[in-house]
Amino acid sequence: MICSRIKKSITIAMLLLLISGSFAAFTGTTRAQEVLIPDIGSQAAVLMEFSRGEIIYSKNGSEILHPASLTKIMTLALAYEALQKGRVAWEDTVPISQKAWETGGSQMFLEVGQQVPFGELVTGIAVVSANDACVAVGEHLYGSEALFVQEMNKKAAELGLKNTLFQNSSGLPDSQHYTTAEDMAVLSRYLISTFPEYLKLHSQKEFTYDDIKQYNLNPLLGRYSGADGLKTGHTNEAGYCLVGTASQKGLRFITVVMKASSKEERLKDTENMLNYAFRNFVLHRAASAGETLATLKVARGEQRTVTLQLGQHLEAVVPFDRQEELQTNFVLPQNVPAPVAKGDALGSAQLLLEDDVVAEAPLLAAADVNRAGAFSLFFRSIGDFFAGLWQAFINIFM
């Protein structure tokens, strides 16, 4: 019993020494500090850090408002999902109905009876906010716009959008069609993270269909460095709205502006939030993929231990002035049984800011460890027994 406790204490001490030697510089928290971004004139505004979905700044973020064409972010999410799952192909032709043709507002100027490729309709929605294309897509996927709207609301519930309700696929005015800036940020993060390949559509500056050239109204495109989306909106009820996103040096942020008084105000507020984000946050890398970070005991293995390497970069987006507060934590079992294969995930390394995990990466076995034979295990146990006795003797009498 004494020998076992001594051996366990030595093992733990060595592991703690390795951990502290690798990460002595870090201490931590993940709760966003309350920030004040001055001169935000819009009725509601939200700034979200993309990688973790943390809301950094919110002005009336939970206030119920009309979304106008920000609605199309959900319409496009369902269209991208259908493409991803193979329910529809980019080249599939879609017949244009009377209802799609009659839909007012921004449009592709579709004609009744036209056969339009599904991909053209999706592009028209993403680039020029085509209302007629929204109806055509909804009808093609679910038989009618009404059934499509049911799916929109179902997806909203799945994503936890508690203050969102859709009545149509385009965002045309309806007293019972509403959302919040915070819900729009969550929805936008879902679209970008799940369907990143379609950002190329949202950053497309112009779109031509039937010889009619139209332009993307997102004022960030070509103006703000790294901007590649996402959606504008405007009705008399909703005011001027904009979901913006930009990526610089490994950082991505999402902004939502709702019920701005003008195009100029929604752009100013969006740029104000993005400027704050990129000036005050940094992508901090605590350790790189492939670094050896720990050693784990292997029960009944030919080797007694296996070294653990980081499976991916351990990094997180944090406020620039809080990097020194980061702390690293290892999640490891006491030991693992042999055999162990190189590349096996045996634990993880976490990066903490206060009590919150802001990043986590797997710890992988750096080598194979085969199971030891019975003969080897027998003599090892004898050696361990006498080594333990000798250590106990030293501790008592020396």
**Could you give the residue numbers annotated as active site?**
69, 72, 129
Q: What is the DSSP string of 249-301?
A: TTEEEEEEEEEESSHHHHHHHHHHHHHHHHHHEEEEEEE-TT-EEEEEEEETB
Tell me the C-alpha to C-alpha distance, in Å, between residue 14 and each of 9, 304, 395: 9, 14, 18
> Among residues 108, 141, 143, which one has the least CA distance to residue 126?
108
The Cα 336–Cα 363 span in angstroms is 13
**Token pair 């904009």 is at which residue?**
242
Tell me the C-alpha distance between 163 and 168, whole Å: 16
H-run or E-run covering 243: strand 239-248
What's the gap between Cα 71 and its chain centre?
A: 20
Closest CA relative to residue 48, chosen from 159, 181, 201: 181
Quick one: how far is CA 203 from the chain centroid? 19
